[in-house]
Amino acid sequence: MPEGNIIHRLARIHRRWLVGRGFSADSPQGRFSEGARHLSGRTLVAVDAHGKHLFHHFEGGVRLHIHLGLFGNLRHFRTGAPPPSPACRLRLASPHATLHLSGPQACELLSPQAEATLRARLGEDPLRPEASPARAFESLRRGRSPLAIALLDQERISGVGNILRAEALFLARLPPLLPASELRLEDFERLWEALRELLEDAARDGRIVAPRAPPAPWETPGRRREDRFNVYDRAGQPCPRCATPISRLELASRALFFCERCQSPGAGARRARQSRATR
């Protein structure tokens, strides 16, 4: 499932390429034919992202909500769009830009009230300028579920997926199995900053490149950068900080990757004390 960085990147691209254009709309698959009729002939006036949710606002107050889910695919073409596949749920076409949407978890028209209700259920999104770290901290600390599980709850913090949680917890030196209710403010501040920086960096070009991560084995010098991780999908490989083999754990049917030494209880506090001692 695309994480928040991908959705924000799509929103930025669509604002640059698509806002101000009028579109014809149809549903080659047939499952969104009525919605497509409401969209057809309207001009796109705004695009916004919140976590893993994408919102397109058209003239006349018509609002399109997209959630790609596990299998969704959204392709955009500047010119020369190919014929849509039989699975294409929605095609938006203009002389200068075309979108093909297939396999989404959600593709629906929402009233302003329904959109506001949906957004109110979503947690704080580190990429949104109005995001409140204080609200995110209080929301994240509800209950005693492991921190690694709480981070994937989109009603606590919005936009975090499996890759981002692994890399942010590693950068913040936090144990993934720490009960969320025991998270301290100073530890949360490191975690929030790690999430914000990872998301913002990845939203720029669609790649998650964790700070100080080892090079990917398939990288080619001179080409665009590739995804690079410290712990995610690196089970058994050495931690880039301490060389301890990276651990893999199944948690709530999701693979969790972490360093048992760098992310042991108290690791972040020890690092903070060492940093103060060297000042």
CA dist., res. 121 & res. 203, Å (int): 23
Angle between helical axes of 133-140 and 185-205 (0-180°, round to 10)? 110
Q: Are 246 and 234 a contacting pair, CB within 8 Å?
A: yes
Q: How far apart are CA 39 and CA 23, in angstroms?
A: 8
Annotation marks residue 260 as catalytic: no
Q: Which amino acid is at 132?
A: S
Burial class (CB in 10 A: 0-12, 13-18, 19+), 20: exposed
Annotation marks residue 200 as catalytic:
no
Choosing from 254, 260, 261, 271, the catalytic residue is 254
Cβ atoms within 10 Å, residue 53: 23
Residue 81's DSSP bridge partners are none
Which residue in 2, 126, 175, 240 is the catalytic one? 2
CA distance 174 to 168: 9
Say which of 52, 141, 156, 234 is annotated catalytic: 52
Question: Is 3 annotated in the active site?
Answer: yes
Phi and psi torsions of 57, nearest 5° = -105, 125
* Buried b or exposed e, range 174-204, using 16+ CB within 10 angstroms: bbbbbebeebeeebbebbbebbbebbeebbe
Contact 25, 92 (CB under 8 A): yes
Active-site annotation holder among 3, 115, 124, 167: 3
Joined together, the tokens standing for residue 205 give 């070009």
| Catalytic residue set | 2-3, 52, 254
